[in-house]
Amino acid sequence: MMEAQYRAPGSVDEAVALMAGAGGKGRVLAGGTDLLVQMRAGMVAPGLIVDVKRIAEMTAISQIAGAWRVGAAVTGAEIHDHAGLKKAWPGVVEAINLIGSKQVQGRASAGGNLCNASPAADSVPALVAAGAIATVQGPNGRREVPVEQIPAGPGKTSLKPGEIVVSFTLPARPAGSGDAYLRLIPRTEMDIAVVGCGVNLTMKDGTCTAARVALGAVAPTVLLVEGAAKALVGSKLDDKAIEAAAAACRAACKPIDDKRGTIVYRTKIAGVLLKRAVAIAAERARSN
């Protein structure tokens, strides 16, 4: 097996230049909780590993005009300890903190979770529901990409060769907003989602004025379910509106049958999780 070279640059520009020089054989290393497992299993054999954990911009959390910018390589543990982010986006924080165990949380990042491109990645439905924008840098400069446009299928992203996700921007939110993420797993922890559901709502005078709903593990990529959001917006989140949103979620599902769940089960659970996540997000919105 070819030995991989290891570099730990101090800037995004340097990391991008290293990736460009690796002729398609470079891999970004953030926490390594997916990459190292895949290397050990012989699934990937990079010629160059570019460790991004020493890049300040990729490992910092900051607030800019009410929006939150979270470096793509910030660990789950650091996100867990960030009071401001937790208050603004509890659903996003909970989703990231569901990844693995305490040990995994000490390394794993949302950037790695997104770029590993598992349809069941826990942070992705919450980021998509939040309307998060990824800042991506590659050989042709920077671009801003809605998170839902990055996964392209199991293990595949829409990133161009040499591109790195630098950070995520969670938009400033109006008063009366709340988000939530729920997943179903066959065990109590350390398992892959059978279904994941992220919901982000804004409420004004008892009426839902904005909504985003995303589902994980029910299709080759995380789904933004616009029909579910449409059913919620303009309603008082009454049973009829919530049932219509759940029906839109069930209709959007194109899941696989596997040992964790059948197509019928996953489809039914998508509606159940939607209802529960809406209840939590609405409660949070009312108290904000």
| Interaction site with ligand FAD (CB under 6 A) | 27-35, 37, 52, 72-73, 98-100, 104, 107-109, 111-113, 115-116, 121-122, 164-165, 190
Nearer to ligand FAD among residue 99 and residue 280 (C-beta): 99
| Separation between Cα atoms, residue 201 and residue 188, nearest integer Å | 27
In DSSP terms, 223 is beta-bridged to 215
Q: Alpha carbon of 134 to those of 71, 147, 169, 271, 284: distances in Å?
A: 10, 6, 6, 28, 25
CB of 103 to ligand FAD, least distance (A): 8
Two structure tokens written together for 17: 């230049």
Residue 187, number of CB atoms within 10 A of its CB: 7
CB of 209 to ligand FAD, least distance (A): 31
Nearer to ligand FAD among residue 121 and residue 229 (C-beta): 121
CB of 194 to ligand FAD, least distance (A): 12
In DSSP terms, 169 is beta-bridged to 69, 133
Nearer to ligand FAD among residue 29 and residue 208 (C-beta): 29
| Separation between Cα atoms, residue 288 and residue 282, nearest integer Å | 10
167 residue type, one letter? S
CB of 49 to ligand FAD, least distance (A): 8
Nearer to ligand FAD among residue 118 and residue 235 (C-beta): 118
Q: Which residue number has the CB closest to ligand FAD?
A: 112
Nearer to ligand FAD among residue 115 and residue 242 (C-beta): 115
CB of 242 to ligand FAD, least distance (A): 26
Residue 264, number of CB atoms within 10 A of its CB: 10
CB of 100 to ligand FAD, least distance (A): 3
Nearer to ligand FAD among residue 31 and residue 91 (C-beta): 31
What lies within 8 Å, CB to CB, of 274 at 6+ separation is 197, 199, 213, 215, 228, 242, 245, 246, 249
DSSP-H helix ranges across 183-253: 226-232, 239-252
